[in-house]
Structure 1
Amino acid sequence: MAATSRRSRKRTAAVLITTAALGLTITQAQAAGRGVDPFGVRAQHHKARLNEQQPGRVSLATEGDDEGGNEGEEIAEQADQYAEARTSPGIVAPGAYGAAYAALKNLPHTDGRWRDVTRLPYDSDDPRYRDINSNSSGGAGRVSGRVTGLAADNKGDVYAGSANGGVFRSRTGGGHWTPISDRLPALSTGDLQLDGRGRLWYATGEANTSATSFLGTGVYVLADPRHGEFGRRDRVGGDELESTSIHALRFGGDKVWAATTSGVWSHSTRTLKGPWKQEFAPNPDYLPGGSKASDPNAPYKNIANDIAIDPKDPSKVVLAVGWRSGDTYNGFYTKGSHGWERVTGLGDLPSDSDNVGNVTFAHSADGSRYYAIDQSPEQMNTNPDSGLEGIFVSKSGSPTGPWTKIAGYEQLRDSGSALTYDGYQPGVQAWYNQFLTVDPKNPDHVYAGLEEVFETKDGGRSWTVPGPYWNFGFKCWSIDPAKQSGDCPSTVHADQHAVTTGSFHGKPYVIVGDDGGAFRRPLNGSANAEGHATDWTSLNDGTMDVLQYYSVGVGTDGRGVAVTGGLQDNGQSVLRPGDRVMGSNFGGDGGDTITDPRNGCNIAEEYVYLAVSVTQNCAVNDGSWVTDPSKATSYSVAPPDSATGEARFIAPLNADIKDSDTWVAGGRHVWINTKGWAIRSGSEWTGAFDLGAGHTATAVASSGGRVYAAWCGPCNNQGFTRGIAVGNADGTGWHQLTLPADGTVPNRYLSGLAIDPADADHVLLAVNGFSRKWTEGPGAGYGHLFETRDGGVTWKDVSGNLPDVPANAVALLKDGTVVLGTDLGVLVRTPGSAGWKVAGENLPTTAVLQLRTGPDGLLYAATHGRGIWAVDPRRLR
């Protein structure tokens, strides 16, 4: 396994965002020494395959590897950190999100229209980018952001719900997508289902317990999904399911059931009016209004994962409930004479709390089979390779069994899994990756999704892997750009979340949704001798731009403007002048970005934990580094805090606004690079200041050598603290600011800094989380934007009429206009204005994590769910 920063799991109370996401990388093989690869899987087997092809070459897989790693721990850590920013120092009361959206709707809009810069295909296998740090040639092809809900009919209509970008419709069996939910207050998808009347049910609030899983505002129904669009009046019931995540909707009789993070609910399907009924909550005291609602563990005490309804008798219902890391209430429940009771004696399917975690059910159309995937908390907490308990079948067709185990992770591993080459096993992320569906015409034909797509046609006696994790490691693979990915067939992106079956012109198909978008193949498709499908089609044609950006960088190259940005599990995208398709020149999670405004191919890209790489040619490479490492076109320049684990998962990285060759990186220390893009080693960073043991930077900014660094530590609910240090890039004059004890600057996550280029003592500070009205924690305070004009000695709350919504980034334009990126879009305030306005008319209501002004004068917004957008700031009046 390649080196990784080993992290401990924490359990952070998370309400707006639940807990943990993926960021997987291919090769952080560092040609100059120590390998930094916080996932390890992609690096290890890609490197091993290259070494196998090049006998006698030094093994980059082992060179400098000095630590072990566990991907599940990395994911959980990322989860906690993203949640911390919005919840610490306490927990957030229900209703905060809805109140923020209502306040936002009452604000006026400015003029100006945004342009979706990244609404075009994104090729993860772009043959131009075969550099050592790229995933290119892995086989996924064209990708988009995470798809977490899918539904299809037999007319070619397909509906795809994205992690935080809403629902899209296709009338051609996938592709040529149109958004149909942009008028809703929540664009986070938990589930999509078509009922027997052809209505489309949209459950908001992604329930993958991932770092970027936003809560929702309930369930909506669209009566005519072929032609209509969702509106706020389409909500089912009242606000009972607001501020929850919904894992699954299931239908039985005249009821719809919802498995949520606040227990199990039901509603009539005959009428959409009236409140939802709480069917079961294992720990009701922890629900809002309960005696233990303020307990830090409250968000984990009533999680329901799925509902199995007997198709032959809708009154027989089995609930799968439980927190993925384990709790005493975990298990299966059914209704008995004394109410809901724990079910035991299910056969091979465990019923004890240690081995029931995240569960997915599916039954055959004829009612003869019920299937289940079960993730085991015990496996997750003790087995570094897999958290999967197994896949099971009830041949009686009843959800009460008896159940028989038809696959464990070992059997799936030996069925053609790409993870065989990596030391991990299928199900290493079974708490995050799950789907299950049965062929409507064959009860023994099943598709199961974990990290990869698995298939059985004989009821589980044998399995194949039509959608392997990637093609690295297989004998058919080649890095040669002329061969794309060698002789291997295309595969899907890793990390499966949703599945549906449908047909178009009488041809049945299956569509899967994963961290890379949506992919389709014939329901009974073809495969090669290894069982890998030869007929996947990417449905990510660019019209469904649900890419999840953490950052954006903009530069010129003499022909126009180049735009790049770091993405959740989709590396770094590069869009150069004249491109009709974006390429990917770095793999894994793309974190923060610095791009040279004078040359868009000078890029510094963070993977995670400050694992920074730099290129001066956009990382264009023909793969020649395989035989000659000196021909690598990107270089590891990770600051030392990356090796010690003293940096946040997505750590701050920025350039001085007056000198783009001076960079600031923040971990425990504030690191300075004055060589710009000529840097070639992590040892070339200079430590300017130690923020203190247990402290990690959350935002950095620099102007003319004056540097500000915001930090937190501890960063979770227990003992949360924050601060700001200021000093000079040359290491002089550093000191910690004394933030006022009166709460003028809240004790919450400090997420963004903007320095006035005309006066380095004039700084704006963006604060994340919700204010004291909603946050039950010490020092939560009020407000989201603060200003100092004396270098941080005194601060003033300048939030004004800003909605109480988490703020992620702030920018100060040349004319004095303030632009704020929030979890609900972009807000602006012009000099002398009486209040805030929503920026433009057409930006989707999704999280904006970074704002940059490009050398073309346009303002760019990196959204975490709907791509990168740009607007002329002169129009924001």
Structure 2
Amino acid sequence: MAVTVTGLLAPAAPASPAASAPAATVGRLRGPAAPAEYSYLQKAVPGQPLPRHAYADAAAQAAALPEAPGQWQPLGPANIGGRVVSLALDPQRPDTLYAAAASGGLWRSADAGRTFEPAWPDSATQAMGAVAVAPDGTLYVGTGEPNPGGGSLTYEGTGVYRSTDRGTHWEPVGLRDSGTVGAIAVDPRDPARVLVAAAGSLYTPGGDRGVYLSTDAGGSWRRVLDVPGEFTGAVDVSHDPADPDRLYAVLWDRRREPDKRTYGGPGSGLYRSDDSGTTWHRLDLPAPAPGTALGRIGLGAAASEPGRLYAITGDADGAFTSFRTSADAGDSWTALPDDPALKQSQGGYAWWFGKVWVDPERADHLHVAGVSLLTSGDGGTSWRAEGDAVHADQHAMVWDPRRPGRVYLGNDGGVYRSDARGDSGWTKAVYEPWTQLYSVATTPQDPGRISGGAQDNGSVRSWGGARFNTYLGGDGLQNLIDPKDKNRVYACYQYGECSRSTDGGDTMTSFTAATTADRRNWFTPVQLDPARPGILYYGGNRLNRSTDAGRTWQTISPDLTGGPGRDTYPYGTISTVAAGGDGRTLWAGTDDGRVWTSPDLGAHWTQVLGGQPWVTRVAVDPADAAHAYVALSGYRSGSPQPHLLTTRDAGRTWTDLSPGLPQAPVNAVVPTPDGTLYAATDQGVFTNTGTTWQRLGSGLPLVPVTDLSYDPANHRLAAATFGRGFYGVAVR
């Protein structure tokens, strides 16, 4: 279906090793929280703040470029899913559900969550924060994901939008400076009375922050709950289901810097309004232990017992601190037992969840968001985890008032439905095409064979079953297919845990232990030699080489980085590897901005660039190993440096190829034998045949493209998008 929206729209000097800038550092990260930092650090530069509207400005630049011929086609997966941050039911149409995907747009289901169709334009930002439906069917979305991490960088949006035809057409209705939107609440008695929880930018202060009220369906807004700090935002607002004049809001201090993460503070708190959101006062929710800042708060209110509330709290480091209940709408609180399941469910990153849902018919029947979905049948005294019944990492839930016992759940695996009050009987949507992909691999031996690494959904492949299936777990990252043997495949999950297979992935054998590294990137690069695919390269902080398809490995470089960062997060790692077609030349780039080359398979190394942003990709001209391209990231911290460089003399001199590209990270670059260049960016795919840049083809949503795979035998290019799955286009 068509969906439209109206109203939108100098190269760094080469550095010697001695002159290289010092390695950037990262802040205090602990345990499972660390994976959330990868893509943020990739796009950040220490000491350089994010310019407001950087993403939207880059999108406008991309849209203004001329278009090269081509028609992108979605290639799947449609059954894997991805992170869903908000859900809403249509009050006028039974079994109609809206799902907001974190970086995949808005989707509508007319069959009770079984299948979904787009309800948001491909040409607008795909970053979503909240969705709500008014009693008259008017649909609202708030763009920009308020969650502060996840293997992805969570993208900011462009404000609040309204649709009066269930998502066919949209118009912007303000709060463009909200950065991210945590929630939208529509008065159940007055569809024109709308409240928005504006969370603000995670990276820069100010903007539209707090709770905003519109009494004319978004025509105008006034802030009714201000924030106490420049990095405080509203992450939730909701009506009390037992009293629509009463509302609750959650404020939260949150800020991300390249070397520091602040996910709590004195601005975090719980607020109540007793006059439909006109005035607010802070509730005395007990803080964590002395000296510990209050982090994100999750709140649930009971419809069947007026005044009954439940609240879960965490500290600024992401640890669970308490679960409490109130019988008087938050005037006083009672601590409930600290069941070990609560602590385990938060996983050390309580800032990723912050949600409590109460059964509308039973005030003692609760669900809490966490790694696992937690359920209590006794008012929070005891808990049980759903375990493998649903995917991990819960973010959204909505109860269907038309269907007693029916509840929908949104998590990192997509949308689920239960007709047993969420206690059991979960079924997953069968069509939900919004997977966040890190990589793509194709083979000339079989144009229908495609695989890639998916955020929190493992390494997925198109073969081995009737639909896409996962053949290696974890967060799927590097995937490769041997171009001369389609059954010889490689797949990795986080921090370089990689495996090989000779039967297409049916059986996987790990080879990580055979490699040597002090530090391994979240996305550890593994690459095949272009002429001899039985030779592989694996980058930790030193480069490893295998001549027997990954069975054994030898270290062929010193540490190519500036050393580790200040904490346990793996920093100071090789981020990209490339081999020349001459069988001798090697290239490597690092996360701390260094580029190296070796003319003799690692016997000698020369640093040819330093002091750059994160090096996302090095690619080599198939016909000339001295002709290389270096793709860079870092614009989200306002980096003035270019994002695509090239050298024709093995790194002695460099040319900036960035002019004409949108000012955005370049995530991958592919040079072809005929001289065409393809660049994957946060704003789509662009091509250059030697003169100017053009957008490649039509039909590709406005979504970050993380990787490209070029198949010259079949004249096609495949793209991994971070939020809309794989796309393919025919090329010359």
Q: TM-score higher than 0.5 here?
A: yes
The alpha carbon displacement at 1:426 in A equals 5.1
Task: Report the AA paired with residue 250 of structure 1.
Answer: A
Counterpart CA distance in 1 for 2:227 and 2:669 is 41
Question: Which runs of structure 2 are paired with 1:122-141 in the superposition (5 Å)?
Answer: none
Task: Report the AA paired with residue 357 of structure 1.
Answer: G
Task: Report the AA paired with residue 449 of structure 2.
Answer: A
Question: Which runs of structure 2 are paired with 1:720-869 in the superposition (5 Å)?
Answer: 722-728=593-599, 730-738=601-609, 747-770=612-635, 775-776=637-638, 780-831=639-690, 833=691, 835-854=692-711, 856-869=714-727
User: Is 1:246 aligned with 2:123?
Assistant: no
Counterpart of 1:442 in 2: which secondary structure? coil
Q: Which one of 278, 295, 299 corresponds to residue 357 of structure 1?
A: 295
Correspondence for 1:79: 36
Task: Report the AA paired with residue 520 of structure 1.
Answer: R
Q: Is residue 610–residue 641 contact of structure 1 (8 Å, CA) maintained in 2?
A: no
Q: Which one of 390, 399, 403 corresponds to residue 492 of structure 1?
A: 390
Q: Which one of 395, 404, 426 corresponds to residue 327 of structure 2?
A: 395
Counterpart CA distance in 2 for 1:392 and 1:592 is 43
Number of aligned residue pairs: 671
Counterpart of 1:576 in 2: which secondary structure? coil
Counterpart of 1:87 in 2: which secondary structure? coil
Q: Which one of 525, 528, 534 corresponds to residue 661 of structure 1?
A: 534
Counterpart CA distance in 1 for 2:315 and 2:534 is 48
Correspondence for 2:437: 549
The alpha carbon displacement at 1:341 in A equals 9.5
Q: Which one of 49, 52, 57 corresponds to residue 91 of structure 1?
A: 49
Counterpart CA distance in 2 for 1:260 and 1:446 is 26
Task: Report the AA paired with residue 96 of structure 2.
Answer: D
Residue deviations 1:607-635, cap 9 Å, x none?
222222111112325xxxxxxxxxxx423
User: Is 1:198 aligned with 2:86?
Assistant: no
Task: Report the AA paired with residue 798 of structure 1.
Answer: L
What RMSD, in angstroms, separates the aligned Cα atoms of the two structures? Answer: 3.0
Question: Which runs of structure 2 are paired with 1:568-607 in the superposition (5 Å)?
Answer: 568-576=455-463, 579-607=465-493
Counterpart CA distance in 2 for 1:872 and 1:560 is 12
Counterpart CA distance in 1 for 2:293 and 2:132 is 28
The alpha carbon displacement at 1:752 in A equals 1.6
Of Structure 1 and Structure 2, the greater strand share is in 2
Cα separation, partners in 2 of 1:565 and 1:316, compared to 1, 3 Å: closer
Correspondence for 2:124: 185
Question: Which runs of structure 2 are paired with 1:586-735 in the superposition (5 Å)?
Answer: 586-621=472-507, 633-638=508-513, 640-642=515-517, 644=518, 646-676=519-549, 679-681=550-552, 684-694=553-563, 695-703=572-580, 704=582, 705-713=584-592, 722-728=593-599, 730-735=601-606
Residue deviations 1:651-676, cap 9 Å, x none?
22222222222222222112222222
Q: Which moved more, 1:861-870 or 1:848-857?
A: 848-857
The alpha carbon displacement at 1:870 in A equals 1.3
Residue deviations 1:271-323, cap 9 Å, x none?
42345637423223xxxxxxxxxxxxxxxx32433246566474775543234
Counterpart of 1:100 in 2: which secondary structure? helix
Q: Which moved more, 1:160-169 or 1:257-266?
A: 257-266
The alpha carbon displacement at 1:456 in A equals 3.1
Counterpart CA distance in 2 for 1:215 and 1:268 is 22
Counterpart of 1:358 in 2: which secondary structure? strand
Counterpart CA distance in 1 for 2:361 and 2:283 is 31
The alpha carbon displacement at 1:841 in A equals 1.1
Correspondence for 2:113: 174
Correspondence for 1:564: 451
Task: Report the AA paired with residue 40 of structure 2.
Answer: A
Counterpart of 1:77 in 2: which secondary structure? helix
Q: Which one of 302, 311, 326 corresponds to residue 232 of structure 2?
A: 302
User: Is 1:223 aligned with 2:223?
Assistant: no
Q: Is residue 88–residue 748 contact of structure 1 (8 Å, CA) maintained in 2?
A: yes
Cα separation, partners in 2 of 1:688 and 1:556, compared to 1, 3 Å: same
Cα separation, partners in 2 of 1:307 and 1:367, compared to 1, 3 Å: farther
Q: Is residue 109–residue 837 contact of structure 1 (8 Å, CA) maintained in 2?
A: yes
Counterpart CA distance in 2 for 1:748 and 1:281 is 34
The alpha carbon displacement at 1:326 in A equals 3.3
User: Is 1:214 aligned with 2:155?
Assistant: yes
Correspondence for 2:730: 872
Gaps spanning 5+ residues in structure 2: where?
1-23, 202-208, 255-261, 564-571
Question: Which runs of structure 2 are paired with 1:109-128 in the superposition (5 Å)?
Answer: 109-121=67-79
Counterpart of 1:650 in 2: which secondary structure? coil
Task: Report the AA paired with residue 696 of structure 1.
Answer: T
Counterpart CA distance in 2 for 1:698 and 1:304 is 36
Cα separation, partners in 2 of 1:661 and 1:316, compared to 1, 3 Å: closer
Residue deviations 1:358-403, cap 9 Å, x none?
112232335714434433226x47xxxxx2223333222x2x3322
The alpha carbon displacement at 1:852 in A equals 0.9
The alpha carbon displacement at 1:804 in A equals 0.9
Gaps spanning 5+ residues in structure 1: where?
1-7, 13-71, 122-142, 285-300, 382-386, 414-423, 471-490, 528-532, 622-632, 714-721, 740-745
Counterpart CA distance in 2 for 1:340 and 1:817 is 60
Correspondence for 2:568: none
Counterpart CA distance in 1 for 2:421 and 2:498 is 44
What is the TM-score with the length of structure 1 in the denominator?
0.71
Task: Report the AA paired with residue 539 of structure 2.
Answer: G
Paired-residue identity, %: 26
Cα separation, partners in 2 of 1:511 and 1:351, compared to 1, 3 Å: farther
Task: Report the AA paired with residue 187 of structure 1.
Answer: Q
Q: Is residue 299–residue 356 contact of structure 2 (8 Å, CA) maintained in 1?
A: yes
Correspondence for 1:145: 82
Correspondence for 1:368: 306
The alpha carbon displacement at 1:73 in A equals 2.5
Cα separation, partners in 2 of 1:191 and 1:371, compared to 1, 3 Å: farther
Counterpart of 1:219 in 2: which secondary structure? strand
Q: Which one of 400, 403, 415 corresponds to residue 502 of structure 1?
A: 400
Cα separation, partners in 2 of 1:444 and 1:335, compared to 1, 3 Å: closer
Correspondence for 2:15: none
Counterpart of 1:76 in 2: which secondary structure? helix
Residue deviations 1:541-597, cap 9 Å, x none?
1x321111111112266x6642111111111112128x4212211110111122101
Q: Is residue 553–residue 593 contact of structure 1 (8 Å, CA) maintained in 2?
A: yes
The alpha carbon displacement at 1:352 in A equals 7.1
Task: Report the AA paired with residue 85 of structure 2.
Answer: T
Counterpart CA distance in 2 for 1:448 and 1:425 is 9
Counterpart of 2:395 in 1: which secondary structure? strand
Residue deviations 1:213-261, cap 9 Å, x none?
1111111122232xx3253xx22215222xx222222346834131403
Q: Is residue 635–residue 680 contact of structure 1 (8 Å, CA) maintained in 2?
A: no
Counterpart of 2:126 in 1: which secondary structure? coil
Task: Report the AA paired with residue 267 of structure 1.
Answer: L
The alpha carbon displacement at 1:197 in A equals 2.8
Cα separation, partners in 2 of 1:667 and 1:734, compared to 1, 3 Å: same
Cα separation, partners in 2 of 1:110 and 1:702, compared to 1, 3 Å: same
The alpha carbon displacement at 1:520 in A equals 0.5
Residue deviations 1:36-71, cap 9 Å, x none?
xxxxxxxxxxxxxxxxxxxxxxxxxxxxxxxxxxxx
Residue deviations 1:160-183, cap 9 Å, x none?
111211111110111221111134
Task: Report the AA paired with residue 87 of structure 1.
Answer: A
